[in-house]
Structure formats: structure tokens, C-alpha cells
Structure 1
Amino acid sequence: MVSGVVTVEPSGPGGAATELDPLGAPYLPGRFTVPARPPTFLRRKRLHDHLDEALTTPLTMVNGAAGAGKTLLVADWADGLDLPVCWLTADADLAPGLFWAHLMQSLHGQGVLTPGEVGSPADADQVDSKLLARLAVGLAGHQGPVVVVLDEFHRVTDPGIGEQLDFVLQHAGPALRLVLVTRTEPLLPLHRYRAAGTLTEIRNAELAFTPEETVGLLRLHGLELPLAACRCLVERTEGWAAGLRLCALAAQDADDAEAYLKEFEAGQSTVADYLLGEVLTLQSPETQDLLLRVSILDRFTPELADALTGRDDAERILEGLRRRNAFVESLGHSRYRLHPLLREILRSHLEVTRPGLRRRLHRLAAQWLHYSGHLPEALAHAAAAGDWEFTAAALVDDLAIGQLFTGLRAGDLAGLFSGMTPRTTTPAAELIRAARALDHRDVTRGLAHLHRAEQTLATEATDPTAAQLSCALLEAHAARLTGAPGRAEKAARSAQGLAEEVRDERLERHPELNALLLTHLGATHLWAGRFDEARDALGAVVASPVGAATALPRQECLSHLALIDYLEGWLDRAERKALAALAEAGRYGLPPTSGSSMGHLVRAVVAVERDELDLAERLLGEAAGFGPGGADDPVTAAGRALATARLRLAQGDLPAALAATEPTFTAETVSPWERGRAAALASAAHLAGGDPETAARALLDAPDGQTPCAVQAARALLATGHPEAAIELLDAAPPEADAGPAVTVPALLARAQAHSLAGDSTAARRVLSRALLEARRERLRRPFLETGPWLHRMLAHDPTEKWLTGTTKPGGTAPLVVEDLSEREHDVLVRLARMMSTEEIAADLYVSVNTVKTHLKGVFRKLAVNRRTDAVRRARELGLL
């Protein structure tokens, strides 16, 4: 015997040598054989392609749970290689010497190395470092790469073997390609291989079957199922290979395989038998009890698991299950989950073996989660336990009632509390019913529940201060829906005082509460026409820290601020805020609400003022698709009516414009701007229809101090030939402070028209120049189209404003104003009208043909045309020829 090497003695039949391991036992051939694949094995090209990368990196790891299909995948791939493949299925708790003896035997069996080249360990417990060095040198000198597959490598637990494998890998060079098939992270310095880019990894998620692959797998089992049915099956099993195969085997005996796979009860299936037999019953009683109890949870921590078991061993048990890939997955941060199919089976098993325990476990989980500050999960488990008093009180006491209106969980909470039984009549339950009713604009029902809560919260509420704060929020919401600024202010004052009594972090955890209060307050101030106070409240929400919890209130506040800007005449400001509002919820993946509706409405009415009627029509249509069920609140309803009437008036649909000005809602207080704008639009519609008397009567009930109403009254006087009276009326109208062009320009145009009708063309042009100057900044075009033919004649004979090029009259006729043509461009235009060619024009003007072409380009650009005939036609329409 050579030191460190086992000699093989002849002892087999006929004198053949039987090779023995260091313990003197024969090597079992099954450990070195590539496993055969069953007829129902599905080759998956994407995984084969990924495994091909194993030929380019020294180390490959295929890591997945039991039944994930790891071994068959690697076996199928290895069988297709035109390279030596040394396969070893590891046994449990192999000592270093025994492990390396088996690996040497695998190499010998493939003829990669002979026993005389390297030798083999003689001691089962250890291996000589010189032998490992000889092995690395021998592999490095081999012609072409050698693939070594170590299956079931999770059974190898001696850290020394990992270090020795790393040594051989580092020194064998490109001749060795090691593939580890395992359920756990192997004991090698994987971080170093990852950093160097020398590790190929296939993990559980990649091993999972896709719906398309599931179609193929089921077909191999004689089942033809559509992709949609396979997709549902994959969602339920998470693509777990063994689960899919077991389902397929069970479905072969079903009358309707598709129905069976769609509706099968996991707890009563072959999958359940497999998991209960291979996972649950093999565990200790403590582990079985833990798994059954945590099956009610989607995710959990060891501390929560301990609360459900009443013990303190959850962390040790869970970590052991995770390391063994026993269908327990670590989510990081000491959080775990069970495989969904195992969880479903264990829940069913829990109901059968321990009836009545499930509700108690849900209640325990709810109490622990609420105490630990995990409100969403606490609510879900309390509801599952049927403890609605606890569920409602937990939400209200946490000051989280605002989450029913805003945030990522609003829809989930609404669905959860839809199951609350009528027998639950605590103050918290009534507050939640009130919130749900108000969210659907049912003010009457909402106030009824709110008042019932207020009558009993002092004596029955678990936290009266929190309940009173919730009442204040809901009172402000109801005030907004009814247009009652006084009630909103009272609720806000009450909330401010109550907030000072809250001495913990609940208000910081729920910024949506204050954001919603200020939003409702700002909206009622806006309705009342108190724009400065509205800006203060709405602006405070916009300036608050951003986050998903306050995204929808910020969206509403931005859109309401945009409406104020529009009403004050500032189109650019209004458009910017409306666009910002529309983007606010989208960045957090929140569904659109009434704030989205108002943003589109403001953009629509701004588009009308710029004479972009197609865009306005589209935006108005989009605005109709947003918001919760029920009627609009007063501000949104007024904004919708304003945008609709303004657009229909611009389109010449006078009956529709008049219909839109009729109020379709009631409010406790009158909104001066809503009443004034509706009257002004109705007057404009009558005036456009040739009825100045009715136009004037439409303004009789309008509030005083409304510039749009004064402008329409002046236009009605002008239509009846009274320019002096119109000027007097405009002079008497109090100027609106900080009004923008959309307010001031129509007034200036009315004044310019009055001067023109009175024969003072100098004053008319002076006022018109000022109107053009102010309108240019905001691209305000529509008022110029609605002032009548006098303006068209004035501007056509004195074109100076390039920014108005392209503005069209109703019906799509010529632009009002063009950029002034140069003298030479006008000469070219005159000759175009005479049907002269480019060469003839050049000869007539004594210039080159290229010069004429340059002038033609200028004419086409300034007249907004592309052809000679169009240029001539447009010039004649504008009086330039």
C-alpha cells in the first residue's frame, strides 16, 4: 500500500477486482450513474441554455426545494454533452476522506484519471492536502474540460469539504467544471465567485414551470389543457415541478381534467398526501405543531410564531426548515413564509384535526400584530376571526380611518369592512360605516351613521380622543360634499384641539388624516370664493412630505389650486398644476379619483381658451371616467359644468352650452364664482344666438363684482348699439386683484370694441394692443374669435402677432392674424396671384430664382400653408390681395 492510497484487492467473481472505499465497503454503482428520465419528463430549453453557461464558469449551483426538478434537469443536460461527465450522488454526513474517495472513483470510472495518477484517500475522516494538489494538477493537464456533477450536495455538511473543493477549483483551472445540485447554499465562498463573475446560478424561481411549459408537461401526461387553465395551476403551485406532476397524475383519472385542476381541494389530493407524508409527518411534534399554526399566516416572524405556539423555539425550527428547503422560505429581515400549496394543505389539515383552533389563532395573531404596530395584518386576521368590534376599534384607535379614502390600501380596506356584520354597533363600527357612505357621496346615510357614533363614543369608544378625531374628519368631509365652509371650519378647529391631546406617534404614522382635513377645508373655502384661505389650506397639503399615504389628497389639492388659477385667469399656472396633479397618484400606482377628474377638467377648459377644441373634447371625455360612484362634490360638479359649457359654446352648440349652465346639485351656501361663471356663459350663449336681450337678463341674478359678468353685460350693450353705456359699465366694474389674461383680455376686447363702435379707432387700437400683449403670454386665442368681425377686419389689415397664426374660426376658416409679410414677400405674393412661375417672378423682380424660392418659403410659413394656391386663397381671405 502506498501511503494515503487504498489498494484494490482481487476478490470479485473470476478474480476481478472489487474496488473498496476507505471503510472497506464496495462502491455502489448507483451513486455514479446519471439518473434516467421518465417518459413524462419535459425538456425545458431555457434552462438548458442557462446550464450551458456552466461550461464557461468553474462553478455552477442549481439550488431548489425538494421536487423542484433539479436532478432530472441536470441529468438531461449532462447526457447531451460531448464531454466527460463525472456524476456523484452525495450521501448524508460524508467525512472528507470518504467524500473524496467517492469523487475519485467517479473520475476513475469516466477515465479522466487513473488510480495510479493521483491515488485515493485511505482514511475515511481526512484527506491529504498533497493528494488534493495532485488531483488539481492532474485535472489541469486533462485534454478538454471535465464536468463534475455533485447531486444532493446539501447532504455534505462538513465545512472542510467546501474548503477543499474550493482549493481544487482554484488550481485545476479551466479543465474542471463543477456543478452542485443542492437544496441549500453550499459551503463554498460563493460571494467571491459572484464578485468575479465565475458562478452560474439556477435557483427555485427559475426552476419553476411557466404556464407555457405546464401545457407541455400536461400534454406528456395525456392532458390537453388551455393556457389559461395552466396559468391558474401555476399560480397555485408556484410552478413547483413535483406538485404539477402529482396534479397531472390525479387529473388523469378525472372526468373533466380542466375542472379538476381548477377546483381541486389541496387538502384532499395526492399533492396533500405527498406534502403531508414528505414534509409534515417527518418532522418532530413541535415542528408539526408550529407549521400547522403558522399556516393561517401569509408571512410571519419567529416572534409571531412563538405567540401562536406559546413556546420560544420558532426561530430555531424555521431556520432549520429553511436551510433544508423544506418549503419554508426566508423573506429577509427575520420574516418567513410557507409555500402557498403547503400552506393551503396545512390549513385544510388544521380544520380537520383541530376544529375551532383557526379562529383562536387568527384572534391571537390580530392582537400580537396590533400590539406590534402591524395594523394592516392585524385587521385582516381580526376580520378572519369574525371579531368585528376589535377590527373596527383597531382602525379607529390607530387614527387610520383616513386610509379608507386614500393610499394603497383603500380598496382592500373597503372590501374587508364590507363583510362587517350589522350586529356590530360600536362607535368605531358606525364611524367606518359613515366613512364608506361618504366615500360614495351618500351624505344622508353617512351623517346618520356619524351621529349615531357621536352619541355613544364618550362612553363606549375604546379611545374617545381617536374616535373624536375621526368624527372631525368625517364632519369636514360631509361639509365639503354639501358646500358648507362654516361646518368645515368648525370640524378643522375641533381636530386641531384634539390633535394636541394625542401624545404618541399615531399622527406621524398617519399623515393622511391632516392632509384630508385640510383638503376638505380648502375645497369648501374654494367653493365659497375665498381663494386666499383656500390656497393656504390646499398649499399646506401640497407642501407636506410626499408619500403614498398623502398622494391622493395632494392630487386633489393641486387640481383645486389649478382651478383657482384658471378662475383668476392664469392659464399656464393652471395647466402646470393640473398636469402635476394628474402625475401625483400615478407615481405611487394609485387608482385615479375625483382629483384626476378635476385635473382633466382644468386642462380641458384651458385648451378651450387656447382654441384647441379637439384636445378639450378628449380631456372632457377622459374626465368623465374618473372618480368614485355617486354625485360629484360641488366644486367638481361646477368645474365639470364650466368646462362643458365653455367647450360647447366654442363649438357653436348653444343648446348644449345653455343646458350645462343649469345647476344639477344643491349646496348649503352659494358659490359666487360658480353662479357668476354660469350666468356669464349663459349670457354668451344667448348673445351668440343673436338674442342680446335674453343675454342681458341671464346676468340679472349674478353676484356683484364678477368681471366675466360685467364683460358679458358690456357685450350685450354693444350688440344693441350702446358703446358708451358699455364703456361706463366696464369702468364701474371693480378690477379683480392679480387677475390674469383669461380674465383681463376679454374685458379689454370688449372695451376696444366699444371704442371702435364709438368711432375712436385710436383708443380701440391702443386697448387692442394691450389685449394682444397680455394674451400672448398665455397663448390665449379664444376670446379673439368671439368678439365679432370688427376685430377680424382690424387685425387683417394690420398683422403683427405671429403667435396667433393658425388660430381658426369656428368651421375651420382662415387665421385671424398672420406674421407681417415683408415688402418683397408681398411682391412675390402678388405675382403668385397672377399665376406666374418662379422663373417669371425672378425675371420680373430682377432677382435670382433662389431668392424667389426663399421669399416663397417665408410667405408659406407666415400664412401657415404649404402650396401656392392655398397661399393665394388665404391672402385673399385676410385682405392682403
Structure 2
Amino acid sequence: MIAVTGRPGHPAGALRRAAAPRADPALAGRLGVPPVPATFVRRARLADRLARGVREHPLVLVDGPAGAGKTLLVCDWLRTSPPPHPAAWLTVEAEDNSPAVFWHDVGQALHRAGALPRAVGAARRAAPAGRPPRHLATGLGLRRDPVVVVLDEFERITDPEVATGLDHLLRHCGGMLRLVLVSRNEPLLPLHRYRAADEITEIRAADLAFSEEESSALLTRHGLALSGPDVRVLTGRTEGWAAGLRLWALAAARSPDCGRYLKEFEAGHSTIADFLLAEVLDTQPAGTRDLLLRTSILDRIHPALADALTGSRDAERILDELARANAFVTPLNGPWYRQHPLFAEILRVHLRARHPGLPPELHLAAARWLQRAGLLDEALRHAVAADRWDLAAAWFAGGPAVDQFFSSTGPGRSAALFDAMPAGLEGPCAELIRAARALAAGDCAAGTAHLDRAAAGLTAAEDDAPARLTAAVLRLVAARLTGSAPGAVEAARTADRLRRTVPADPGREHQVLPVRLFTDLAAVRLWSGDPGAARAALLAAVAEAPGAEHPERYEPLGLLALVELLGGAVGPAERRARQALAEAGTWEAEGTGRAAIAHLVLAWIALERGDPAVVRSHARRVPAAEAGAVTGGAVDGGAGDNGVVDSAAGHGGAGESGAVDGGAPVVGSGPGGDPLRIVLGAVVRARFALRNGDPRRALALLAAAEHPGAAGEPSPWARGLIAPVAAEALVAAGAAGAAVGLLPAGQARSPELALATARARFAAGDRGAAARALPRTPAGPPATVTRILLLKAEAGAADGDERTAAHLLTRALATARPDRLRGPFLEAGPWLAAFLRRRPDLTADHGWLPEPLRRRAAPVPGPAEDAPPVEPLSRREREVLERVAQLMSTQEVAADLQLSVNTVKTHLKSINRKLCTSRRTEAVRRARRLHLL
């Protein structure tokens, strides 16, 4: 193995003349493997790659920036686990850029390592262009095993003839050469051929970067002890750059508290700065130094932007050369580059010292260029850095960036910039930003006040259209928080009109504004009790975001799931909610407030199916501020003039209040938050508390949702959800009379309110009033219809009419079966289990029911259960049987199928004959076992 070390040696005149053989002492310092310091950290992962590369490939390339630890890595590998074959080392110097000098020095290194037979002498004349001296190829060809040659600091070789000769030697030495090149940049060899043929091992800058564990080991070698988080910070700040870590450790060793030193460390005034300025900046031409200094203010560098900052037109060439030279400039996607953050930090200090007034001018120029390029987030950061808050506010408020304040994952980076906006900054754009911040915090009063002041400063001019669009969007946000349907409609119309006149931002992959408009409008529509209009707006929102990759589609999907669930479509609601959460997960937003609706819908469905573990799982994913919960179990005063929840203080109940969701955080809803989510969260948690036998907590949860967030408008939707659950809680707490008084009378009632009224009357002992409260033909969501049928069955059983009770119970089971709604049966009370013990046949075909409610009926003589029909059922007979299974009477089946009653009876006789049954209920049961239904 041959190594090259960089020490001054040959006179400059030797660069371009044929080198006569020189005395070995002149090369001795460059032919030995340099020592490894005691603080060196051996990295087995890289040493193993070196060993494997030398074993498997003819060429190994170790390249990285100055101070990356390239040379020490190879030195340690040679000293601790040398290859089984001879190894030569040569440190390349500038004069080796001449082919004659280079091949002479390589020959000396091979002779010193004993890699060439003694019979092979030195070259007597120069080799032909592009070829190494013949004696090297001849000597290597005589070997029986390969020789390893290390050429250190190979970046000094820029002569294509030298590189061509090395490539020729590798390919014509009979496989007896393993070449290890240590360089700051890629050599001129045709690396693409080696890569295509799998003949090269590469250890690049990213591989050489220290991991956190390796950084910790290095600090330990220097006698320093940093905590895990501090090591992570230091490794991230240096990006694992070996020299940076070592120089920092040397400086920190002089500090009594290295952890504090890390927090106060300024790279611009340190030995790290000295190293980088000397090794990187000062070695560059004047134009390159100027570009590096001026672009140090940028997070990423575009060649055209660099030209704008330097006033030149060669930035693309310079950046490409710097990247190829591993000069702490790295190419990114497309035409962009970036400087190493530590290098950039040092250059910024250097820039301020050399040109004190220049950084603000550079920031302003960068801001204007980035804003014209449509890169608003970056433009805003530079405008703020230039102390041009007026520009930043105008750009931010006049574009779609204001939606960052309402992001499901929290304010974006640009929105956070305006936390430092001067209080004295005036103008409509500044007021719009203050309004957005206030509304994002749920402070509708302050937000509306700022909007009013902004409106006073805006005109109907075309230039103000973007700001007026932002104002309309914020008005809609305020309407959603207050529940104001008229305000929402007016704001949505204004925003929709203006957005058609303002060009869409071409820099945004997803246009979120239309989706937001329709979603917010739908939420207010639902709050005001118009689910049909809400559904239409939500479908429009989804249509505006047709792809699953759209960042805002999951919220309208969750709201659609809620509308469908409230309408009784359990299956579609579940699918929509799961789709919403899957898409929210794509954007890492599944645990945020705007995904809360989907979690609450799935928790509600799990509650109806009697699955408490799933309820808890989804309840925990709802942020505390959206939970609609309270901190304590005590119930505040009564319902008040407008409330629907009476005090439960004297109504008994189940002991102390506990966490509804088994440990999920519950806090007061506070002044902010979406009222729709708060109410839904409170209702779901209250129902879960009731299922767990805790009516006091249920009432407390509902009381907290009486005036959710900033909602000032009464909501028939919210009252329709809260009142039935509150009445049920009062009944469970032993206050049936209070429950009766709570519910509205003498007006059109929803099925849920009718059921709640009937339950309260039934619990109060007034069965006649309970019966009158219930609809004659139950309608509504399946869970509500099931509960109505169960209450009617309970009344029938209490009156001794078991036949009617059994008929109603059969209908309830048939209604609940498609969606596996176990919840209504679990909460029906002890009468149901007692009744089913007498009639186990009723649940024989309902294995989905909980075990305590299922009892196997005694077998009765009859045909084999799995025997096929005597003959197949006709299509019409199947249609009749399907309706009979839905507990339709003969007359109802005839009307539904537009047949005569006698025809239906004929079909029923044929069905019984084919299935070997005598009654329609037996026919239905047997058809299900045979999978005919």
C-alpha cells in the first residue's frame, strides 16, 4: 500500500520537467504512514468498509471536505488491521502534478514497501503519454498477490495525463494493484466506468460524518462529558464534521462547564473559524470568496440568486466547482446548493466584520428575488432579517400564507415570524396578521376588532384584492368559531368572488383556499342545524381536493363521516372516517384538532358496537382543548335560562368522577376551539361515562359544552345532541322528573328526543305517556330505531305481553344486525337478559351479540340444519324472503313489491315447502344458515 503525505520538498522548477531520480531521504517523510493521535476514535464501520473494499475492488475512494477525518481513518486502518499484502503510502505534493515526478515518487513508494521485485529497476526514460512507466506494470505483473497503494491528498493531481496513467495501470496490472485514493474531491479517473462495473468502493462525506455515539466517544477521549441531548445538538450543529468536533472539544476543555460552553459557543470567534477560513475560504480566488461571503445569509443558494447578490454571472460555475471540491458547499435537488451550516455561520460573522452595512442590503435583495420567484416563506424570513416588516406583512397578508396560522399541525415557520412583529407597525396588512393570530388562539373578539380596523384601511382597488380576500377568509374563520351562519355565508360569498379575481399562487402545489372555504361553511351549516347544506358544501370541498395527497382533504372527509353517521349510515361513516385519518397520517396530522372529528366518529361507532377499548383509543387522540371535557367531576349549577343540563348534585350516581377515556387528558374547553368539535367530543365522552355507570360525570361533560368556545349563536344541532344524553344521564342518576322537564314539549321532535322523552316518562312510571311519546313507526338512524324498539319491547314485557315484546325484540335485532350495534342491547337494562333467558330462540342466529345475551335454544326435530333446499328459491321468492326477514307484514311485502297479497302468500307457502319449514320465522332462520340471505 502506498501513501502520499503533503510536506514541502521539491523545488518549484521540478513541476514541468522530467524528474531525475532523487535521493530517498527527500521522500522519506512522505512515504511513511502518518501517526494517529491518542484522541482518535476508531470507527469499525468505516474500517470494515475499507478492508472489504480493498479485498473486493481494485479502486477505493475516500473523499470528503477538509477536516473530515479521511487520512486518519486510513492510517488507523493500516496500523490496526493491515491488509495481508504489502502496502505502500505516498502523500501527494503539488509537484507530483507532473507525470514524470508522479511516477518516480510512486515507484519509490513501491520499492520502499517491498512491493516490486529487486530485479525491477527504475524507469530509464519517460513513459508514453497516458501510460505509467513500463517497469511498474512489469513489476506488478510479476507478483503473486496484490499490493495496496494509498495516495493521500490526491486532490492535488489535476493533470489528466496522470489520472489516465493510473487508470491504465489499474487495468493492465493483472489484478495485482489495489488503489486507495484519499481526496477532497473526485479524481479525474473515469469513475462512471468503475461504478458501472462494480469495481469501486466509495466512502463519501456523509459516511465520514460522526454519529452521535461517535461524537460522544470523541468527547470522552478529550475528557469531556456532555449529556445525550447536548451531544445531539453538537453533532447536529457540526453535521458530524470531525475537525469541527475536535476543535470544539479542545476549546471546551478550557471551560469549567462544557454544557454551558456549548450554549454560548459562537463559531465565528473560535479555532474552528480559523481552520475554515485558512483551509477553505482563503484558498479560493477573490470572486469565489465574495460569492461565499454574500451567499452565507441564505439557507439554500440558487445560481441566479447568487448572481443577484454578487452582481456577476458565473455563480453556477463557481458553485459547481465548490461542490466538486467538497469545499463545504453541497448540491441539493435541482439547481440549488447549500453551505455547511457551521461554515455559513462563520462566514456571516466574517461578512459583518468586513462589511458592516452589507448584510441588510443582501437580505432585502434576496427577499425581493425570492418573492418574485414565488418562494414566499423564504422571502419573508429575509424581509424580516432586513427589518422590512412593512414588506413582510404586505406579502404575507396578501397571499395564501395566512392559512399557516390555522394549520392542523400548528403555525408554520412564516406565521411564527410575526410573533416578533413590532407593536407599532400600522396598516391593514399588519391588522390582518394580528386578526389571524387572535382567531387562531380562539379570541374572536380581538380578531374581529382587528378585522374591522383592517377593513377601514382597505380600498376597492385591484391592488388591495389579495388583502380583501384574506380578510374574507378570516371573517369565515370567525363565523365558524362563533357559529354564525349568516356571517359565514356572507364571508364565503365574498371570498369565493375575490379568489376568482386573484391569481392562484403558482408556487403552491396544493391550493387549499377553496377547500377551506367549503369546509368552514359546512361546519357552520351543520352547527345551525342544516345537515343537507353541510353535506353539499363538504362534497364540494372534497371535489376541490380530488387527490388523496391534498393536505386539507381529511377534515371535510371527517365532517362527511359525521353527517353520514348522524343520518344513520354507519358503514359509509366508518369508511369516510378511516379514510380521513389515513390521509391525515400522510401529513402527520392524525392526532391534531382538525382530525378530531374523524376520531370522534369512530369512537361513537365503537360505542354503539360495545367496544370500549376502541372508544378509548380514539378518545385519546383527540387534543385536550377539543375534548369538550372538564377538569373535575363536580357539576356546576343548573341549566339556567338557556341550558339543557340540570344539576346532578342531588341525584346520586356512581361515586367519584373518573377519566372518561381511561386516562386521556381532559381540560376545560376554554375560550377557543371549534364549537362543533367541542360539543361532539363532550357528547361522545358523556355517553361513554354513562356506559360506565357514571351519570354525574356525563352531566358535567355536557354542562361544559353548553357554551362551547366562542360560540354565540344557539345551535339546534348541538341541543339535539346534548338534550337526549343529558336526559338519559338524569334518568340514570335517579332524577326522571328533572329529565322530563328538561326536554322540549309540544313541538316537532327528532327520533332521539322522542326516545329520550319516552325513557324519562317510562322511568317516572307514566307508561301511557311514554308510549304516546314514541313514534308508531320508528324511523331514523339504526341505533335510535333499535333503542325505540327495545323500549317498546320493555314496555310490552312489563305489561305481560311477551308475544309483542318478542316481536319487537326480533325487529330490534334485525335492525342492529347489519352494523353489529351491540350498544343499545348492553344499555337496555336487566329486563333484557331476563327476557332472553325465557326466549333463547330469539338470539340463536345473532352470534354478534355479547355472550351474556346469547343462550342456545334447545334443538328441535326437523331437517338437517345444513341440508340444501328441496329445490332452489326463485328470484321473486328471494325478494319476498328478504322483506320478511326485515319483519315486514304480508301487506307491506305486497306493497313494496307491487304484488297482490294472495301472490305473496303463495310465495310464502312455496318458500316453506322448499326450506322444509312451517313458519316464516323458521324460514328466515334457515335461509340465513344456508347463506341465502
Pair in the same fold by TM > 0.5: yes
Report the Cα distance in structure 2 between the residues aligned to 1:702 and 1:482, rounded to whole angstroms: 29
The aligned counterpart of 1:749 is 790
Q: Answer whether contact 1:676 1:702 (CA < 8 A) is retained.
A: no
- Secondary structure at the aligned position of 1:410 is classed as coil
1:747 is displaced (CA, Å) by: 2.0
The aligned counterpart of 2:115 is 112
Q: Answer whether contact 1:805 1:816 (CA < 8 A) is retained.
A: no
The aligned counterpart of 1:714 is 758
Cα RMSD over matched residues?
3.0
Structure-to-structure mapping, 1:791-810, within 5 angstroms: 791-799=832-840, 800-801=842-843
Q: Answer whether contact 2:515 2:545 (CA < 8 A) is retained.
A: no
Report the Cα distance in structure 1 between the residues aligned to 2:297 and 2:273, rounded to whole angstroms: 17
Task: Mark the CA change 1:651 to 1:224 in structure 2 (over 3 Å): closer, same or farther.
Answer: closer
- Secondary structure at the aligned position of 2:61 is classed as strand
1:509 is displaced (CA, Å) by: 5.1
Report the Cα distance in structure 1 between the residues aligned to 2:200 and 2:102, rounded to whole angstroms: 23
> Does the alignment pair 1:523 with 2:527?
no
The aligned counterpart of 1:399 is 400
Task: Mark the CA change 1:822 to 1:244 in structure 2 (over 3 Å): closer, same or farther.
Answer: same
Task: Mark the CA change 1:243 to 1:634 in structure 2 (over 3 Å): closer, same or farther.
Answer: closer
The aligned counterpart of 1:159 is 160
- Superposed CA offset, 1:61-88 (max 9, x none): 0011111111121122123414211222
Task: Mark the CA change 1:776 to 1:270 in structure 2 (over 3 Å): closer, same or farther.
Answer: same
The aligned counterpart of 1:307 is 308
Report the Cα distance in structure 1 between the residues aligned to 2:733 and 2:248, rounded to whole angstroms: 74
1:548 is displaced (CA, Å) by: 9.7
Q: Which moved more, 1:555-564 or 1:628-637?
A: 628-637
- Secondary structure at the aligned position of 2:459 is classed as helix
Report the Cα distance in structure 2 between the residues aligned to 1:351 and 1:407, rounded to whole angstroms: 39
Write the letter of the residue equivalent to 1:745: T
Q: Answer whether contact 1:805 1:818 (CA < 8 A) is retained.
A: no
Task: Mark the CA change 1:266 to 1:704 in structure 2 (over 3 Å): closer, same or farther.
Answer: same
Report the Cα distance in structure 1 between the residues aligned to 2:176 and 2:698, rounded to whole angstroms: 83
The aligned counterpart of 2:737 is 693
Task: Mark the CA change 1:101 to 1:121 in structure 2 (over 3 Å): closer, same or farther.
Answer: farther
The aligned counterpart of 2:87 is 85
Aligned match for 2:854, one of 817, 839, 849: 817
Report the Cα distance in structure 2 between the residues aligned to 1:63 and 1:422, rounded to whole angstroms: 52
1:802 is displaced (CA, Å) by: 5.9
Report the Cα distance in structure 1 between the residues aligned to 2:844 and 2:160, rounded to whole angstroms: 81
- Superposed CA offset, 1:807-862 (max 9, x none): 66xxxxx71223445469xxxxxxxxxxxxxxxxxxxxxxxxxxxxxxxxxxxxxx
Q: Which moved more, 1:678-687 or 1:586-595?
A: 586-595
The aligned counterpart of 1:827 is none
Aligned match for 1:23, one of 8, 19, 23: 19
Write the letter of the residue equivalent to 2:320: E
Report the Cα distance in structure 2 between the residues aligned to 1:534 and 1:285, rounded to whole angstroms: 65
Identical residues among aligned pairs (%): 45
Write the letter of the residue equivalent to 1:23: A
The aligned counterpart of 1:658 is 699
Q: Which moved more, 1:400-409 or 1:427-436?
A: 400-409
- Superposed CA offset, 1:585-635 (max 9, x none): 221234732223333322322222222235434543442436598533221
Structure-to-structure mapping, 1:124-139, within 5 angstroms: 126=129, 128=131, 131=133, 135-136=136-137, 138-139=139-140
Report the Cα distance in structure 1 between the residues aligned to 2:507 and 2:788, rounded to whole angstroms: 48
1:557 is displaced (CA, Å) by: 1.8
Q: Which moved more, 1:699-708 or 1:557-566?
A: 699-708
Structure-to-structure mapping, 1:119-518, within 5 angstroms: 120=123, 122-123=125-126, 126=129, 128=131, 131=133, 135-136=136-137, 138-406=139-407, 410-458=411-459, 463-503=463-503, 505=505, 511-518=511-518
- Superposed CA offset, 1:534-591 (max 9, x none): 112223333443679953x423222222222332233333333333333332212347
Aligned match for 1:729, one of 773, 785, 797: 773
Task: Mark the CA change 1:152 to 1:435 in structure 2 (over 3 Å): closer, same or farther.
Answer: same
1:668 is displaced (CA, Å) by: 4.2
Q: Which moved more, 1:49-58 or 1:237-246?
A: 237-246
Report the Cα distance in structure 2 between the residues aligned to 1:579 and 1:489, rounded to whole angstroms: 30
Q: Answer whether contact 2:66 2:279 (CA < 8 A) is retained.
A: no
Report the Cα distance in structure 1 between the residues aligned to 2:100 and 2:844, rounded to whole angstroms: 91
Q: Answer whether contact 2:322 2:328 (CA < 8 A) is retained.
A: yes
Q: Which moved more, 1:751-760 or 1:586-595?
A: 751-760
Aligned match for 1:774, one of 786, 799, 815: 815
Report the Cα distance in structure 1 between the residues aligned to 2:548 and 2:309, rounded to whole angstroms: 32
Q: Answer whether contact 2:130 2:161 (CA < 8 A) is retained.
A: no
Q: Which moved more, 1:115-124 or 1:369-378?
A: 115-124
The aligned counterpart of 1:845 is none
Report the Cα distance in structure 2 between the residues aligned to 1:248 and 1:223, rounded to whole angstroms: 7
- Superposed CA offset, 1:415-440 (max 9, x none): 21101111222211111111111111
Name structure 2 gaps, 5 residues minimum: 1-15, 627-668, 862-933
Report the Cα distance in structure 1 between the residues aligned to 2:60 and 2:434, rounded to whole angstroms: 58
Name structure 1 gaps, 5 residues minimum: 1-19, 809-813, 825-881
Task: Mark the CA change 1:169 to 1:454 in structure 2 (over 3 Å): closer, same or farther.
Answer: same
Write the letter of the residue equivalent to 1:88: L
- Secondary structure at the aligned position of 1:731 is classed as coil
Report the Cα distance in structure 1 between the residues aligned to 2:43 and 2:509, rounded to whole angstroms: 48
Report the Cα distance in structure 2 between the residues aligned to 1:504 and 1:574, rounded to whole angstroms: 33
Write the letter of the residue equivalent to 2:232: R
Q: Answer whether contact 1:302 1:315 (CA < 8 A) is retained.
A: yes
Task: Mark the CA change 1:504 to 1:353 in structure 2 (over 3 Å): closer, same or farther.
Answer: same
TM-score (norm 1): 0.84
- Superposed CA offset, 1:191-225 (max 9, x none): 33223332211111221223332333334444444
Report the Cα distance in structure 1 between the residues aligned to 2:616 and 2:131, rounded to whole angstroms: 84
Q: Answer whether contact 1:644 1:657 (CA < 8 A) is retained.
A: yes
Task: Mark the CA change 1:116 to 1:317 in structure 2 (over 3 Å): closer, same or farther.
Answer: same
User: Higher helix proportion, which one?
Assistant: 1
Report the Cα distance in structure 1 between the residues aligned to 2:845 and 2:487, rounded to whole angstroms: 47
1:296 is displaced (CA, Å) by: 0.9
Write the letter of the residue equivalent to 2:364: R
The aligned counterpart of 1:76 is 76
Write the letter of the residue equivalent to 2:566: L
Q: Answer whether contact 2:591 2:623 (CA < 8 A) is retained.
A: no
Report the Cα distance in structure 2 between the residues aligned to 1:678 and 1:395, rounded to whole angstroms: 41
Q: Which moved more, 1:348-357 or 1:191-200?
A: 191-200
Task: Mark the CA change 1:677 to 1:323 in structure 2 (over 3 Å): closer, same or farther.
Answer: closer
1:380 is displaced (CA, Å) by: 1.0
Write the letter of the residue equivalent to 1:322: A
> Does the alignment pair 1:96 with 2:95?
no
Q: Answer whether contact 1:702 1:709 (CA < 8 A) is retained.
A: no
TM-score (norm 2): 0.79
Write the letter of the residue equivalent to 1:476: L
